[in-house]
Amino acid sequence: MLKINKTSLSLSLNNNDQREFNFVWLRDNCQCDACLHPSTQERTLITSEIPDDIAPIDSNMDDGNLSITWNDKGHQSHYSLDWLNKHQNNKETHTCSYVDPAMGELKLWDNSLEGNIPTFNYIDLREDNSALLAWCEAIRDVGLTIVRGAPTVEGEIERFAEHVAYVRETIYDRLHNVRATPNAYNAYNVASTSLELKPHTDMPNYNNPPGVQMFHFLVNEAEGGMSTAVDGFNIARLLKEQDPDAYKTLTEIPVPFRMDSARGDILSANPLLTLDTAGNLKVFRFSNQLAQSLNLSVDKMEAFYHAYRLLGRLIEDPDNMVKFRLNTSDMMATNNLRVMHGRTSYDVNSGNRHLQLSYMDYDDVLSRIRMIKKAS
């Protein structure tokens, strides 16, 4: 059944569900070659030129297609029911109905993940696209992976990043070394000391932090230095359940972070919990050591520190943290927009410890998922 309303039309789709489609949206999404380039699939219709009073002067259903003749110079548009069913206007306010083939289902975790971290073989990831797809999906769904058996050759983590997608450049070296050798101790920040490194996300000083962080241990002979990881999305869930006002505070108050090097000086301020337009958590950022001083009113300062301390205590709770050993040739990768990483202290004089790290953008990992699925 096809019904013309004031600014929309209603029709029954393949599932017999009556749905409503906005006139401007329909005109804007005309599939003809004059409105959508046949090769690039880019819109050539100029949306701002659609008349304010756009409406059908004729419309009909014929053999599974909706045909419309518009009051816009008599332009004709045709839409298959399958296309309309796939791109239907969502009933929910402010919610995008577009289905991304790369998206999965988040799997929140606590210390029960210990011993069950998604683990892969390096050669498989380089030679088997199905294994690489599984790794990319684990980064997407779990946010933490281990890769065993990588060649202990300098630069291998960079080559792996380029095999998956592209290296994300930051103000640190493209291929960053964290090295500690007996009697040759260097320290430019907490990460390169032997002190405990508390769970944190990397580069919170960027408005758009690197989405995937990767470690490669060229050698790890030191005693101690157990790796730790915490699911920030799970921590946010727990905070929201325990104290909704504290959760709300951390979605609203921007926290400044700053890092500098010889290559640059990056400063930005964003809420620790960044939400998308539907109110879902999109980015979790936390780095106690890099947070800068806040400048707030007294009441807001009280609310912030109440929430911030609750968040920190949840992060430090052993029930929410996994601990594991990374050995020589192992790689670790995290979704840096979600998962915090750290390590326990270690004895710098007990053996060599040298890792290299590199970054990728999370969007590029999702792109890789789409590309592999399209090729299969």
As to burial, measured by CB atoms within 10 angstroms (0-12 exposed, 13-18 middle, 19+ buried), residue 116 is exposed
**Which residues of the chain fall below pLDDT 50?**
93-94, 184-188
Distance in Å from the first CA to the final CA of the chain: 38
Q: What is the pLDDT of residue 186?
A: 47
Q: Residue 38 is which amino acid?
A: P
Q: What is the pLDDT of residue 11?
A: 87
Beta bridge partners of 129: none
Token code pair at residue 27? 């005109």
**CA nearest neighbour of 372 among 175, 80, 134, 145:** 134
Percent of the chain scoring above 70 in pLDDT: 92
Q: What is the pLDDT of residue 301?
A: 95
Whether the CB-CB separation of 332 and 125 falls below 8 Å is answered with: no
**Domain 2-86: CATH class, spelled out:** alpha beta
Residue 284 to residue 250: CA distance in whole angstroms: 10
Let me know if domain 111-375 sits in CATH 3.20.20.300.
Answer: no
Dihedral through CA 214, CA 215, CA 218, CA 224, nearest 10?
-170
Domain boundaries, the chain: 2-86, 111-375
Token code pair at residue 110? 């606590």
221-to-178, 326, 329, 330, 350 alpha-carbon distances in Å: 14, 10, 11, 13, 7
Token code pair at residue 54? 């756009």
Which stretches within the chain are classed as H helix? 23-28, 81-86, 122-127, 129-141, 156-164, 232-242, 244-252, 298-316, 362-375
Q: Which residues, including other chains, have CB under 8 Å from residue 143's CB and lie 6 or more apart?
A: 231, 233, 334, 335, 338, 339
With H, G, I as helix, E, B as strand and everything else as coil, classify residue 291: strand
Q: What is the pLDDT of residue 101?
A: 74
Supply the pTM of this predicted model. Answer: 0.85
**CA nearest neighbour of 137 among 359, 329, 375, 373:** 373
Q: What is the pLDDT of residue 71?
A: 96
Token code pair at residue 363? 């969007």
169 phi, psi to nearest 5 deg? -80, 145
